[in-house]
Chain A
């Protein structure tokens, strides 16, 4: 009963609004703890690949950017609550998420990989089926709410899954030996391997592309509220131009040392 009143009130309040929450400003929700996509420093400034993509997008749309940092799990609820206009946070486009929000065209795509201790049995595996089978009973770290988590829940149901709110926590547990392996995108794992903590670890030589399983999504896209078709059209157009003229690729070179931009169809 009470709930219904709340929902009603929320709907009433929600019906007021335009393409952008505030004219001339694009507010962007991002995780701020997912290097090198999105990091925030002690003063709350956001840097990383997604910060650059956001900045490029804002320049193209001739608006000012405003970043809002929010835990990954809460990004979609917050977008639906109109707390910000878009999500740019290395978020994969998936069927489940599409039920909740809209996505722009994909702007990037990365291989998903496992990391394991150097010289371990896992590290020597070279094909995906053996790899997934050998996860049985192993402690596998993964970030909560990500496509990686959903993929493992589906493809490795007998693995002992440990979910973390942030990658930092996962890296701490990986380094201390609490988990046997971790699954994430290649860039996030490379970030770990480059740290002193990661010196005894290596990537498992199996790249799992999103074409392997639809739960891994269709590339990384910008999340937009479902009712905001006007904004989606603008962002799709701007993104395609930015990908075509190589701006996204350049930003990618800066953060990933390689071009991960996804050609726009």
Chain B
């Protein structure tokens, strides 16, 4: 019997795959948000060389960037997930712990990974801000917070956009790895479909196409943002 796209559609796999894709995007966005928060905090620590903390950040980024993502996911999956569940339960979200358990681990794992890469991007962007700008602001008597808000943050964000784009592309692809711990995202659904229908080729091909669509669309989005930022810079110059 030939097994084609029509059978995939008839058996209801298309909706399942789309549901999986939406979870992939959700995990991607949530991990990216978590990663950016980590990245900005750790990037600032590294940039400002706040002594004992910067050592911790160094250890974190070199560990996460040097060890395979899959190994990190296994670590979280087999162990400190206990901690995750318990914290979530302790805060009284037992229901969330039940349904969103795999989701929470996924976001923690992928967020920690994307945080390490974001840290480097943020630090690089901060380093690219000319010292003169900050010195000038200081000479004008602006407060530290104000310097950060008006001088440092806007420039950093602009310089960091291409780097953040790279991190996002890696993050969305890394979400495929959490399928090994059972979160029903795009890769997991394809995996289940492939195993239960015994037609892995078509399911993994569909998965590849959907991932490609996600990365291409977001690439387009980032290109747009970059163009917009470049236009604004040109106008002000």
Binding site for B on A (CB under 8 A): 6-7, 9-10, 12-14, 16, 21-22, 33, 42, 68-71, 73-74, 77-78, 80-83, 165-166, 168-169, 172, 197
Contacts and interface: CB of A to CB of B under 8 A. Distances in A.
Given A83-B101, A172-B200, A77 B78 contact: yes
B222 to A, nearest CB: 34
Nearest to A169: B195
Contacts of B89: 13, 82
A188 to B, nearest CB: 14
Contacts of B78: 73-74, 77
Contacts, number: 61
A14 B86 contact: yes
Interface string B1-37: 0000000000010001000000000000000000000
A102 to B, nearest CB: 17
Interface residues of B, number: 25
18 contacts: A9-B83, A9-B87, A13-B87, A14-B82, A14-B86, A21-B94, A22-B94, A42-B16, A69-B182, A74-B181, A77-B77, A77-B81, A80-B82, A81-B82, A81-B85, A82-B82, A82-B89, A83-B101
A55 B198 CA distance: 30
A172 B81 contact: no
A34 B173 CA distance: 29
A9 B86 contact: yes
Given A10-B86, A70-B182, A165-B180, 19 more contacts: A9-B87, A10-B82, A69-B182, A71-B182, A74-B77, A74-B78, A74-B181, A74-B182, A77-B81, A78-B81, A80-B82, A81-B82, A81-B85, A82-B82, A82-B85, A83-B97, A168-B195, A168-B196, A169-B195
B12 A42 contact: yes
B90 interface: yes
A94 to B, nearest CB: 18
Contacts of A16: 90
B98 to A, nearest CB: 8
B166 interface: no
Nearest to B78: A77
Nearest to A71: B182
B80 interface: yes
B79 interface: yes
A4 B220 CA distance: 44
Interface in B30-83: 77-83
B54 to A, nearest CB: 16
A222 to B, nearest CB: 20
A168 B90 CA distance: 37
B200 A77 contact: no
Interface in B193-212: 195-196, 198, 200
B89 to A, nearest CB: 6
B197 to A, nearest CB: 10
A16 B98 CA distance: 17
Max count, chain B CB within 10 A of own CB: residue among A10, A68, A166: A10
A241 B160 CA distance: 66
B16 A13 contact: no
Interface in B115-130: none
Contacts of B98: 68
Contacts of B198: 172, 197
